[in-house]
Amino acid sequence: VGGDAYRAFANKYKHRKRVIYAGSNGGFVHGFDAGEFDPAAGGYDRGTGEELFGFMAHPARRNIAELPRDTQRSNYYMDGSVQAADVWLYPTPTAQPGDALAWDEWRSVLLGGMRQGGRAIWALDVSDPPDSANPAGVRGGSDDYPRYLWEFPCEDLSAAECTGSGVVPTGRSYADYMGETWSEPIVTRVKVRVSCGTGSCPTYDRSVAIFGAGYDPLADPNRSHNADTSPGTRATDTPTDDYDASQDAGTSRAGRAIFMVDVTSGEVLAMKHYDPDPTAGNPEMRYGFAAAPAVFDLDFDGYADVVYLADMGGNLWKWVVHDDVPDPIHGSGDVDQPDWPFHKIFSAAGCTSCSPPHYQSFFSAPQGALVGPELYLTLGSGERADLDRLPTSAAGNNRYYVFRDGDPLERELPAPAAGSARFTDAAGSSNFVDVDTLSGSCVPPPSPAVGFYVEGEAGEKFITETEIFFGTVLTGSYTPSAAANACEAGGTARLYGFDLFCGEGIFPPLGGPSSPAERSIVVGTGLPNRPRVSVGPIQNQSGGGSGDCSDMAIVITSDGQTFSQEKCRPNSGVRLDSWRDL
């Protein structure tokens, strides 16, 4: 990535200080000393744990005076997750990554949101932490550590991006569309043209951050029945915080957008957003985007090809960003980027006839696995903002979906009709089958189905991110007890593990050897975190990577319980190598 300049950058910083970055509700994102390289020992020490810095984004600074008065939690600050990436900060719009002498154009950037603490995405340059060998940093003090880059949509509240001065073509501001920044930004690269008409044009690299506009109660359709005084509800809610189902000029826009922001400038390179007028936006983007996007580089050229992002109304949106497009920041392009196909690929039916209605809300990013030309996608629903909810009908149970996108780059299939999705699990549709109806030894869904779903128990919510490991789907769920409060230890945490292609479980059967394998097991009480996979000793593997069954899936619950489950890898024909051999 980046040629000689990036290789020189990586070499300069190969032994820089290790730093752990973490957000908190104490008001700051922190950087902690995690170790320095010791040339004599040939490795890193364990660090001191000392705090190296604290950063507070502008929305938190405006609110921090309330912290001493928070005898009961009513304010939140910098508790979003952080992401780090090496990016090229272009010096001019038509520059190209240069030779080794241009190494300092590459930087390590830390980005994050504020989750319930605010409606901003922020970026810091964390390339050059000082250490014992370089007290002024590798650059010799020419940069601060950390170095402030930007906040989106703005830090200056009088800026057009926040005042509604017509930054968005509809006459609104970017701030109008921002919800609480639950959607974690994903950093990737795309290709653009600068002030070039038709014909052959040079293309230029842009490192970008892609994220959903976030969470807002007015964009959450499952909020329409939430009692604001019940245990576990958001302390900042008011009786007017129910879902805004209107479709007119006064409809709340908060959370109902997807952004692609240039990391160098902090400006919008592309945006998809709700508007009731189809000539001004997308009337179908009626729900908030609290989930992180899933970004895939299908041809392994270092540039993003397709983005999937799910909303809280049960829809999965697809954005093909493979081709180069005009740069609206440094040229005359349109932030809507009409040359990048965008549509709903999947819509979960939910239960609008239930009382109250229930939508399959997606709060976690989809996961994907490329199998030949097809991309298999997985995602689960669950009310992450209302963990104590129990359904009034089985029709309101949440589901976990697995399906294949046979045309990831939209080269062959026609786009769905406006307002429609390509696939759905609605009654009468042949797109999906209930995994419990599949019989035999690992039988995939029969044609014309493109996938299957696993239905959760009453109140069960698929709330964690997913891992796909050698064809096995690993995810977690939480089921509240009848009188549970999600802020206290209670409820049931489960680990799911099943085959990507047929849904067959990986856990020992409960009813004896002749019974089918289980798809899930109880791992404790409280909320589970994302399953992590620890790969076992590779020296014992066979030629196909089957190993000695010492790979482990590990889950930690919110009440401090740790669970691990050994898993045998299938003989995939792929042999794993240690990074030490590379």
Residue in this structure with the two tokens 């690299």, named with its chain if needed: 205
Which of 429, 427, 423 is CA-nearest to residue 406? 423
Per-residue pLDDT tens digits for 383-435: 999 999 888 888 999 999 999 999 999 999 999 998 899 999 999 999 999 99
Q: How many CB atoms lie within 10 A of CB 172?
A: 18
Cα–Cα distance for residue pair 195/184, rounded to 1 Å: 31
- Region 113-132 average pLDDT: 96
- Region 204-223 average pLDDT: 96
Length of the chain: 582
Cite the beta strand spans of 396-506 per DSSP E. 399-405, 423-424, 432-434, 451-455, 461-462, 467-469, 472-479, 492-499
pLDDT at position 545 is: 47
pLDDT at position 263 is: 98
Q: How confident is the model at residue 226 (pLDDT cuts 50, 70, 90)?
A: very low
pLDDT at position 488 is: 64
Compute CA distances 192 → 265, 391, 580, whole Å. Answer: 15, 47, 37
Q: Using an 8 Å Cβ cutoff, are 329 and 348 in contact?
A: no
pLDDT at position 227 is: 41
From the DSSP assignment, how many helices (H) and strands (E) are in the chain? 4, 32
Compute CA distances 167 → 187, 206, 327, 552, whole Å. Answer: 23, 21, 16, 49
pLDDT at position 514 is: 78
Q: 170-179, 238-247, 497-506: which has the minimum mean pLDDT? A: 238-247
Q: How many CB atoms lie within 10 A of CB 4?
A: 14
Q: 46-55, 67-76, 232-241, 292-301: which has the minimum mean pLDDT? A: 232-241
Q: 71-75, 158-162, 465-469: which has the minimum mean pLDDT? A: 71-75
Residue 254 reports pLDDT greater than 60: yes
Q: How confident is the model at residue 548 (pLDDT cuts 50, 70, 90)?
A: low
- Region 183-192 average pLDDT: 98
Residue 539 reports pLDDT greater than 60: no
State the average pLDDT for the chain. 89
Q: What is the pTM of this model?
A: 0.92
Per-residue pLDDT tens digits for 155-173: 888 888 888 776 887 789 9
Compute CA distances 200 → 197, 324, 332, whole Å. Answer: 9, 11, 17
| Residues contacting residue 139 through CB under 8 Å, at least 6 positions apart | 104, 127, 128
Q: CA 45, 47, 53 angle in degrees (round to 5)?
A: 145
Give residue limits of the domains in the chain.
153-340
Cα–Cα distance for residue pair 300/58, rounded to 1 Å: 37
Across 367-371, 440-444, 542-546, which has the greatest mean pLDDT?
A: 367-371
Q: 186-200, 294-308, 338-352, 563-577: which has the minimum mean pLDDT? A: 563-577
Question: For 175, which DSSP code?
Answer: H
